[in-house]
Structure 1
Amino acid sequence: MIPSHPLKVMYLNPVGDHEATDQIFADMVRDHKLPGTEVHVTALPREHYRFSHIEFRTYEAMVTRGILRAVRAASEEGFDALAIGCFYDTALHDAREISGDMIITGPCIASCEIAASLSNRFGIIVGRRKWVHQMQSTVHDYGYGNRLAGFYDVGLGVDDFQKDHDETNRRLKAAGRKAVEDGGAESLILGCTMEIGFYKEIEAEL
Structure 2
Amino acid sequence: MHLRVINPTTTTSWVPDTLAMFEDAASDGTTVTVATIPAGTPSIESRRDEALVTPWVLRAAQAADAEGCDAIAVDCMLDPGVHAAREVVGIPVLGPCEASMHLAATLGHRFSVISVAEHHRDLMIDQARRYGVEPRLASVRSLQIPVLELEDDPDATFRTMVARAREAVQHDHAQAIVLGCTGLAGQAAQVQSALEAEGIGVPVIDPSAAATRMLETIVAMGLAGSLITYPRRSGATSAWPEPLTRH
Report the TM-score, using the length of structure 1 for normalisation: 0.90
**Runs (5+) with no aligned partner, structure 1:** 1-6
CA contact (8 A) 2:11 2:43 kept: no
Tell me the CA shift for residue 17 of structure 1: 4.6
Deviates further, 20-29 or 168-177 = 20-29
Distance 2:50 2:102 in 1: 23
Residue in 1 aligned with 2:81? 91
Deviates further, 29-38 or 105-114 = 29-38
Residue in 1 aligned with 2:161? 172
The one of the two structures with greater contact order (alpha-carbon pairs below 8 A, sep at least 6) is 2
Q: Deviations over 1:43-67 (max 9, x none)?
A: 112xx34x32011222222211110
Distance 1:120 1:17 in 2: 36
Instruction: Give runs of ≥4 in structure 1 deviating > 3 Å.
Output: none
SS in 2 for 1:15: coil
Distance 1:196 1:32 in 2: 10
SS in 2 for 1:82: strand
CA contact (8 A) 2:6 2:74 kept: yes
Structure 2 residue aligned with 1:75, among 46, 55, 65?
Answer: 65
Structure 2 residue aligned with 1:22, among 15, 34, 37?
Answer: 15
Distance 1:125 1:168 in 2: 11
Structure 2 residue aligned with 1:186, among 172, 175, 183?
Answer: 175
Distance 2:75 2:159 in 1: 24
1:133 lines up with 2:133 in the alignment: no
Corresponding pairs, count: 195
Report the TM-score, using the length of structure 2 for normalisation: 0.76
Tell me the CA shift for residue 200 of structure 1: 2.5
RMSD (CA atoms):
1.3
Deviates further, 135-144 or 26-35 = 26-35
For 1:38-187, what aligned pairs fall within 5 Å after superposition? 38-45=31-38, 48-49=39-40, 51-100=41-90, 102-187=91-176
Identity rate of aligned residues, in percent? 34
Distance 1:169 1:103 in 2: 32
Residue in 1 aligned with 2:24? 31
Distance 2:151 2:171 in 1: 27
